[in-house]
Amino acid sequence: MKKHITIGTRGSRLALWQAGWVREELMRRRPGLTISLEVIKTSGDKITDVPLAKVGGKGLFVKEIEEALLAGSIDLAVHSMKDMPGEMPKGLWIASIPVRETPWDMMITRDGRMAEDLPEGAVVGTSSLRRGSQLLYFRPDLSIVPLRGNLDTRLKKLETENLDAIVLAAAGLKRLGMAEAGRATEIDPGIVLPAVGQGALCIETRADDDGVNELAGSIHDEPSAAAVTAERAFLKLLQGGCQVPIAAYGSFDSSGNSPGRLHLTGLVAETDGSVVLKDALAGDAAEGEALGETLARRLIERGAADIVDRLIRQAGNPDEPIQS
């Protein structure tokens, strides 16, 4: 095992916090090891004035980092799991998924209002079709507008662009200590189901780098990984990217009577919220991948494939049609 390794990361405040947290955790477990961070600008970072759904493509925030990993200029990468596409480049793999932070979305307003309390016709800013479609299904009167930029920029736009509310991932706000009491409220997952892998980190490495893989495995959390694996299997079979409102969340029995029982809820929606296809399954956590695929097929049978294919083609980025 090398005495020094390099972590590749995006340069946003949140990405640097996440990579810094991983660095500290790894160094704590391996005294004498030094770890540096290398900031890599991704395509998603370069295009800030266009809604993500119109940019198209998968892996918008990870591609350049993965290229550096394959080239050997970095030893591991730290990503937000929700940015990871379903397919991994040959030679790379997910070596570790640490303990997951809160997976829910959070609504920020000037006075801490919840989604159901917003005024008629309220203007809500969000960068996510997934969030917007579910909010419109719950409140068709809302006006959803695009919101890009880092957390600080998006929070400022609540004031500068005369928005009634903005919606962000709770995990990022909590990690940076920005979930201000009186302004931030977690959204009921019955209203807005989170993105696949939301709140989880992804430690990506070269599959054949045994020393780094062993190190990364020291901060792996199996329950978090089991839930995320099921969610990602759901996404992978649906073949959806940021052009399609897709959500999934895996959880375990809170009673603790059945710790190996995984509950998975998944959703596919029309962007305008006119249709939301939602279903849930439960099964053995060890069979999470199969559980995710089964849930995806159930939604495909109800018309999810038609929604996914059409939205991707409308975005000008057609993929192979879904096989049911």
Q: Just list the catalytic residues.
A: 83
DSSP state of 53: H
Q: What are phi and psi of 251, to 5 degrees?
A: -145, 165
- Which residues are registered as beta bridge partners of 35? 5
Tell me the three-class secondary structure of 118-160, residue by residue.
Answer: CCCCCEEEECCHHHHHHHHHHCCCCEEEECCCCHHHHHHHHHH
Residue recorded with tokens 């990022």: 172
CA R_g for the chain = 19
Distance in angstroms (rounded) separating the CA atoms of residues 124 and 141: 11
| 68 token code pair | 């550096």
User: Which burial class, exposed, middle or buried, applies to 50 when counting CB atoms under 10 A from its CB (0-12, 13-18, 19+)?
Assistant: exposed
Helix (H, G, I), strand (E, B) or coil at 319: coil
Contacts of residue 80, defined as CB under 8 A and 6 or more positions apart, other chains included, come to 14, 15, 18, 61, 172, 197, 200, 201, 202
